[in-house]
Amino acid sequence: MATINSLQSIPVPLPIFDGTDYDLWEEKMETLFKSQNLWDIVQQDRNEKENEQKDASALYLIQQSLAQNVFPRITKAKTAKKAWDLLKKEYNIGDPQSVLQENRKTNGFFRSSHMRKE
């Protein structure tokens, strides 16, 4: 099990993303990155020399938090931001309310189209 050390040296298991419940994993990882002062690295592509170590740490945490079936999707990512963006693009379905509204619109469209044909 992958762990990190908090300020009090208490091992904390990383949340593992297996391809489901992306929104929950994203929230947990964001909190983790903020607690380790790495959130800015994940959010912005910075190439400054002093950020190389922070970027490597953030990328490592992302890699270690992925299940074997998800990890191959980010193997080409050389920065934490790139890995984060790839995962977000593939797995983030957006705000559940927006998805629900979009489904209602789509279902309404199909219903009205179907009714017109009858």
pLDDT confidence of 12, banded at 50, 70, 90?
confident
42 contacts 82 by C-beta, under 8 angstroms: no
Q: What pLDDT is recorded for position 100?
A: 54
Choose the weakest-confidence range: 16-20, 64-68, 91-95, 110-114: 110-114
Query: Above 60 in pLDDT, residue 36?
Result: yes
Count up the domains in the chain and report the number. 1
Q: What is the dihedral of CA 4, 36, 29, 64, to 10 degrees?
A: -40
Range of the domain at 7: 3-117
Average pLDDT over residues 87-110: 66
